[in-house]
Amino acid sequence: GQQLNQSPQSMFIQEGEDVSMNCTSSSIFNTWLWYKQDPGEGPVLLIALYKAGELTSNGRLTAQFGITRKDSFLNISASIPSDVGIYFCAGHNTDKLIFGTGTRLQVFP
């Protein structure tokens, strides 16, 4: 099955730093979603994007739906220890979600 490419695969940053990650696809999507997964738990929906070019924020998180509809970006500002986890992007294709491979974020105090 198709999976989206996410980069970077992992990030190690200091508390207070800003973080950027992205997701790319060879296919066009009409919707992009970003999820966060804590170890041993189910993913939690962070942001949903429905229009090409759309920029949406949720607290310290900002996500953008790429103009080409083949990519999306997630930024986290002023990271804190509880931002630790795996971040997944997902694109909507007909009646299914296609998930990215994930970006693992570690935050050091």
The residues that touch another protein, with contacts defined as CB under 8 A, are: 1, 3-4, 31, 33, 35, 40-45, 48, 88, 90, 92, 95-97, 99-102
Q: Toward another protein, which CB reaches closer, 14 or 41?
A: 41
d(CA 32, CA 47): 8
Q: Least distance to another protein from the beta carbon of 104, Å?
A: 8
Q: What minimum distance in Å lies between the beta carbon of 109 and another protein? A: 25
Nearer to another protein by Cβ, of 15 and 38: the residue is 38
Closer Cβ to another protein, 29 or 73, answer by number: 29
CB of 78 to another protein, least distance (A): 26
CB burial of residue 60 (10 Å; 0-12, 13-18, 19+): middle
- The widest CA-to-CA distance across the chain, in whole angstroms, is 42
| Distance of alpha carbon 51 from alpha carbon 32, whole angstroms | 9
Is the Cβ of residue 20 or residue 31 nearer to another protein in the bound state?
Answer: 31
Spatial distance between the Cα atoms of 6 and 11, rounded to a whole number of angstroms: 12
* Least distance between another protein and beta carbon 55 (Å): 18
Distance CA 50, CA 67 (A): 12
